Amino acid sequence: MAYISQRGEYWRVEIRRRGYKPIYRTFDTRQQAQQWARRTEGEMDAGMYVDRTEAERTTLREALERYQREIVPTKRYPKQENTRIARWLRHELAYRTLGSLRGADFARYRDERRAAGRAENTIRLELQLVSHLYETARKEWGGLDVLMNPLKNIRKPSGSSARDRRLLPGEYERIHTRLQVSGNPYAAPAFDLAIETSLRQGSLFSLRWEWIDLDSRMVRFPPASRAAANKGVPPVLPLSTRAVRVLETLRPRNDRGEVVENADGDVFPTTANAC
């Protein structure tokens, strides 16, 4: 049975029912309190009651901060995730509770970001982060298993369009010349090798000499370098004549300038940002 009492300016509801833990809620008016009590007791009578207290009490901000502490450190690129979380924490939706947020709220966020000129892939990744937060909270955080993921029912940006642009006449020469005088001796060779192999930035700068066989003109990538995040990396990559020529200029040499046979280590002992 529900007990309704006035506490100062507010009305407090207490429901005690066998098989359920005591439930307490506070409302601005007696009518709101009575409506909530009838609805809740009806759900209990029908065996459909689910405790939403935690979902209605936990704000998106609090959930994001917990996600940042517990989940982000396990991510492959935590810096990017922290940047997206910082963006969400500055948004007004961060002050809403998880249980009160609806798909329409996130659809408006999507449209606002588009109107601000943000890239489709940027918006997609921001929404994906909150969607994963909801799934994590629902499956792993106690008291939040009743949550529905509001991002399941909205249209997501498709991400960036595939790139199909080719270098125009004269562009290669201009780019190559600038890279040669950039101060980083690996910038121009990395540019040439990227063109010849079609490797993406991460795979290109993870190349190691022990994977490369210049005699057979092959690169053999170990399974660890072809994990889920690098699905586009083939087990074996044939090298063009020009790619072999670029790699020959990069081969490690001893103090006498002689090529070190069977060398190991990074092909590019630098970082992508340095280039």
End-to-end CA distance of the chain: 71
CB neighbour burial string for 173-210, b if at least 16 within 10 angstroms, e if fewer: eeeeeebeeeeeebbbbbbbbbbbbebeeebbbbbbbe
134: pLDDT strictly greater than 60? yes
CA distance 269 to 186: 8
Q: Write out the two tokens for 11.
A: 């009305």
| pLDDT tier at 87, thresholds 50, 70, 90 | very high
Helix (H), strand (E), coil (C) string for 170-239: CHHHHHHHHHHCCCCCCHHHHHHHHHHHCCCHHHHCCCEHHHEECCCCEEECCHHHHCHHHCCCCCEEEC
Q: Write out the two tokens for 49.
A: 């009651």
258: pLDDT strictly greater than 90? no
* 220 and 231 Cβ atoms separated by less than 8 Å: no
The enclosing H or E element of 140 equals helix 120-140
Across the chain, mean pLDDT equals 85
The CATH T-level fold of domain 57-153 is: DNA polymerase; domain 1 (1.10.150)
Q: Where are the domains of the chain?
A: 2-49, 57-153, 171-250
pLDDT (tens digit per residue) in 179-215: 988 888 889 999 999 999 988 888 888 899 999 999 8
109: pLDDT strictly greater than 80? yes
pLDDT (tens digit per residue) in 18-77: 887 787 778 889 898 889 888 888 877 877 666 677 777 889 999 999 999 999 998 877
> Per the confidence metrics, is the pTM higher than 0.75?
no
